[in-house]
Structure 1
Amino acid sequence: MARTVARVIVDALSELGVRQVFGVVGDALNPLTDAIRTTEGLEWVGCRHEEAAAFAASAQSQLSGTLGVCMGTVGPGSVHLLNGLYDAAKSHTPVLAIAGQVPLTELGTDYFQEVDNDALFSDVAVFRATITSPGQLPQMLETAVRHALGRKGVAVLTVPGDLGERELNADRPARFSLNAPLSRPEESAVRKAAALLDRSERVTLLVGRGARGAREDVLTLADRLAAPMVLTLKAKEGFEGDTNPFQVGQTGLIGNPAAASALQDADTLLLLGTDFPYRDWYPEGKTVIQ
């Protein structure tokens, strides 16, 4: 049986494991919100403002490690998503934003509330595209989701208001590759880093959120090096507490003297899973491995 553009998108999100979609209803989103309403296991979470919807999707993604989804209707509705999407982009977490748009036949005519979403989201999104034909699905949705998950960023898919109810001529289920990409330094770089650490007398670790998945390895390394561990704000969730005897707190504006001392007293600083941006709090004259 033929399905509509909205149904293809919503079914794919449901099969992907998405359980909540955050947003504010609006005419351009009507086919999508109606499809969500009739989909068991997928909940529309109405928000007072699209910015809050995007922040909610970002927070859910950061806490769960899954794809967050938010929606904003045509014009101001989509524009309001920006602030929350920047939070997702800066936090390197996957979020799919579905933006409403003016009717397809009115694109480029300076129609009421028309906004060039592809241009608007160019700085915040790793992928952005406007669906202009039902035949572009499900491939375009697959591409958007792959970019969001694979590059841990924001993907924006724009759907014109009159396209959601159109049916696909050739329907097939969406196919997603959910294998997380792996990356690691070259072996020669790892050996060089290990040699530097072996020659160091006092090593301090600066650990960020990106190392959460390797917590036991990080603790083992800290024990092997007898190294104090300074945490970034977002690393507190995974590394702070009584089960980590190496952590000495945070550095920066909301840091403490113990962390500052650990950084200053080291001859080698090892950064794991962080791109801590506040350079004024880095010690000078140290060997640094990131």
Structure 2
Amino acid sequence: MAETVAARLLGRLREWGVEQVFGYPGDGINGIIAAFGAADEPRFVQSRHEEMAAFAAVGYAKFSGRPGVCVATSGPGAIHLLNGLYDAKLDHVPVVAIVGQTDRAAMGGHYQQEVDLQALFKDVASEYLTEVNVPEQLPNAVDRAFRTALTRRAPTAIIVPADVQELDYHAPGHVFRQVPSGPPDTPSSVVVPAADQLAAAAEVLNAGEKVAILIGQGARGAAGEVMQVAETTGAGVAKALLGKDVLSDDLPYVTGSIGLLGTRASYELMRDCDTLLIVGSSFPYSQFLPEFGQARAVQIDLDGRMAGLRYPTEVNLVGDAGPTLRALIPLLRPVTDRSWRSRVEASAAAWWETVERQAMVDAKPVNPMRIVHELSLRIPDDAIVTADSGSSTNWYARLLRMRGRMRGSLSGTLATMGAGVPYAIGAKFAHPDRPVVALVGDGAMQMNGLAELLTITRYQDRWADRRLVVCVFHNNDLNQVTWELRALGGAPKFEESQTLPDVDYAAAARGFGLEGINVGAPDQLGDAWDRALTAGGPVLLDVRCDPEVPPIPPHATFDQLKETTEALLKGDPNAWRVLVQGVKAKAQEFVPGRG
């Protein structure tokens, strides 16, 4: 029996090492679904929605380092993939999307579910997008999609019309207008800048007396080298949110996250430094970097398009972070005056004391900061943490101390809601032997997280370590936007848009076949985390927390605080409690004798 195009497609995915494909069926991919039914691998993982399939593929790619793969039918299925694929595009993650299309004979006939997929994916899959219209195209299309996704760190897309999927496969021949393809491989190259560029960068760093390093996800494979540079130059190290897991927060000179969700220590590091080294980060908020002209700067990035994008860098080194830093280190002069390092370490230590005090401030019923503080005390050293977008992201960024082999990520640049739970599912398929924790606001949970609990229930038996904890920050408020309305717009909370319907998330989890734990008091938190982290299967923690503990940034400006106060005075519901909770939390930074 002849092999179909769909069967050969799955065969090529196997040759690329693909073990699972996240997706949702539809008649535009019936041929591919039938091929899955006849194949042992790759496995088809059914999400509840195509957007969730794309997010799961992104999560898998982020935590495995291998391309994530998702599949969807034509028309609405293809449209649903877009948010997850844009997440991959903006966070530079390799994802391959396979999409069905109406039969070739019906194209252009205003047929059911016919959408111009070339136009639809032109931007999100701008690095590589193609449509397979004859069997001989298939291997080259698949191989280019994977090689491009890996080398460009981007999403790519392959469109396969429904009738083409069911054709007999014929390999491309050694003939005119047919294109062969080499066997699947892992593209590998090491890029190191020229010696004169390295010397120029060393001159800048050696001249600095107060060096700061900012690292992003591009420094993940160069943690040891970053540590060596920091020790040699006496630098402090701040982390962009996507690089939160690159270095341990137990290192005394690591100041934590940077930016609106960042730490006071990172703010002071950037405010006071005279030299800046950026490694593998395109952190977008330049207002949190040193004042222009204050610091001489060097940037290292594999993508030359990112050079000098956020700060007027003096030397740009285009290369792999690890090899580039290894070539740079011998050119650096060890700093003997450690006063700057001592100042950085004191600031970082004071910050961790501050947030612990803030986490222990009384709230009604639970201070949301304490949720992550208690987790941080207990989380296994090999855990993977996913965070959704919302006010809970602040507490993930500031209070979770990375250590050991811990990994963590979130939708960084797109900052979309709804990625936390499907990211966690992708992480479990990437590392089925490691515990995973998802930190999710109740807005994101209502948006799509609840449905994906069914996906967790369905596939938990495939994971050697079945621990997957979904922690819901239950405050019945779209809290981050509420705070933004108050602090950035000077507007009171608009109940109609901000208040969420109340749901018992733990009861819903139990209804879906998972363990659900309700937490309604701060003294229950520690035991709840202990129970969840030692359970024999997935657990949902439903923690009712105070919506009036504002995520005031540690470097909040007078204008922001003024706008918040004005919003409260205009009639914001719970105005007095918001003001009191904010002052109580902020006051912890100024406890006498605590830096």
TM-score tier, shorter chain, comes to: over 0.9
Equivalent position of 1:6 in the other structure:
6
For the 8 Å contact 1:25–1:72, the answer to whether it is kept is yes
Q: Which whole-Å CA distance do the structure 1 matches of 2:97 and 2:107 have between them?
A: 20
Asked if 1:256 corresponds to 2:263, the answer is yes
1:177 aligns with 2:177: no
**Tell me, which stretches of 5 or more residues in structure 1 are unaligned?**
none
Corresponding residue for residue 289 of structure 2: 282
Structure 2 matches for 1:163-174, cutoff 5 A? Answer: 163-170=164-171
Q: How does 1:42-53 map to 2 (within 5 A)?
A: 42-53=42-53
By how many angstroms is 1:189 displaced?
A: 1.5
Q: Is the 8 A contact 1:12 1:173 kept in 2?
A: no
In the alignment, residue 68 of structure 2 is paired with which amino acid? G
Name the structure 2 match of 1:122.
122
Residue type of the alignment partner of 1:78: A
SS at match of 2:186: coil
**Partner of residue 344, structure 2:** none
Residue of 245, 264, 272 corresponding to 2:279: 272
Deviation at 1:210, TM superposition (A): 0.4
User: What residue is the counterpart of 1:147 in the other structure?
Assistant: 148
**TM-score (norm. length: structure 2):** 0.47
Written as runs of structure 1 = structure 2, the 5 A alignment for 1:78-97 is 78-97=78-97
In the alignment, the residues of structure 1 paired with residue 240 and residue 46 of structure 2 have an alpha-carbon distance, to the nearest angstrom, of 33
CA deviations on 1:77-128 (whole Å, 9 max, x unpaired) are 0011000001111111110000110001112222221111111111111111
- 3-state SS of 1:177 partner: coil
Instruction: Tell me whether 1:31 sits opposite 2:40 in the alignment.
Output: no
Query: After TM superposition, where is structure 1 displaced by more than 6 Å over at least 4 residues in a row?
Result: 171-174
Aligned-pair CA distance for 1:220: 0.6
Three-state SS of the structure 2 residue aligned to 1:239 is coil
Tell me the SS of whatever aligns to 2:128: strand
| Letter aligned with residue 200 of structure 1 | G
The SS at the match of 1:52 is helix
- For 1:53-64, list aligned pairs within 5 A: 53-64=53-64
Verify: 1:245 aligned to 2:246, yes or no.
no
- Please give the residue correspondences for 1:101-112 in structure 2 after superposition, counting only pairs within 5 Å: 101-112=101-112
Out of 204, 210, 214, which is 1:206 matched to?
214
187-196 or 204-213: bigger deviation: 187-196
Which SS does the other structure have where 2:97 is aligned? strand
Is contact 2:97-2:155 (8 Å) kept?
Answer: yes
**Per-residue deviation, 1:173:** 8.8
Identity across matched positions, percent: 40
- Residue in structure 2 matched with residue 224 of structure 1 by the alignment: 232
CA contact (8 A) 2:278 2:298 kept: yes
Q: Distance in 1 between matches of 2:282 and 2:171?
A: 46
Matched, 1:194 2:202: yes
Q: Which amino acid aligns with 2:286?
A: R
Aligned residues: 289
Partner-residue secondary structure (3-state), 1:86: helix
Shift of 1:2: 3.8
Find the aligned partners of 1:248 and 1:282 in 2 and give their Cα distance: 14
Conservation of the 8 A alpha-carbon contact between 2:128 and 2:148 = yes
AA of the residue aligned to 1:62: K
- Structure 2 CA distance for aligned equivalents of residues 170 and 81 of structure 1: 30
Evaluate the alpha carbon distance shift between residue 20 and residue 174 of structure 1 in structure 2; reply closer, same or farther with a 3 A threshold: farther
Secondary structure of the structure 1 residue equivalent to 2:284? coil
Amino acid paired to 2:90:
K
Q: Is the 8 A contact 2:97 2:157 kept in 1?
A: yes
Once the two structures are superposed, what CA deviation does each residue of 1:109-149 show, in whole Å capped at 9, x if it has no partner? Answer: 22221111111111111111111111212111111111111
Report the residue type matching 1:111 in the other structure. Answer: Y
Q: Which letter does structure 2 place at the counterpart of 1:140?
A: A
Relative to 1, partners in 2 of residues 1:219 and 1:153: Cα closer, same or farther, differing over 3 Å? same
**Structure ranking higher on relative contact order (CA contacts 8 Å, 6+ apart):** 1
**Letter paired with 1:131:** V
- Per-residue CA deviations over 1:236-275 (Å, capped at 9, x if unaligned) read 1221332x33211112111111111111111001100101
Contact 1:150 1:181 in 2 (8 A): no
Q: 1:115–1:187: structure 2 CA closer, same or farther, 3 Å change rule?
A: farther
- Is the CA contact 1:61–1:94 (under 8 Å) kept in the aligned structure 2? yes
Query: Residue 102 of structure 1 contacts residue 114 of structure 1 at CA under 8 Å; is this kept in 2?
Result: yes
Q: Which has the greater radius of gyration?
A: 2
Contact map agreement 1:2 1:169 (CA 8 A) in 2: no
Which sits farther off after the overlay, 105-114 or 212-221?
105-114
- List alignment gaps of at least 5 residues for structure 2: 173-179, 300-595
Is the 8 Å Cα contact of residues 37 and 43 (structure 1) preserved in structure 2?
A: no
Q: Which has the higher helix share?
A: 2
Residues 75 and 87 from structure 1, CA distance in 2 versus in 1: closer, same or farther, beyond 3 angstroms?
Answer: same
Using the size of structure 1 for normalisation, the TM-score is: 0.95
Q: Greater CA deviation, 185-194 or 195-204?
A: 185-194
CA distance in 2, matches of 1:79, 1:41: 26
C-alpha RMSD over aligned residues = 1.6
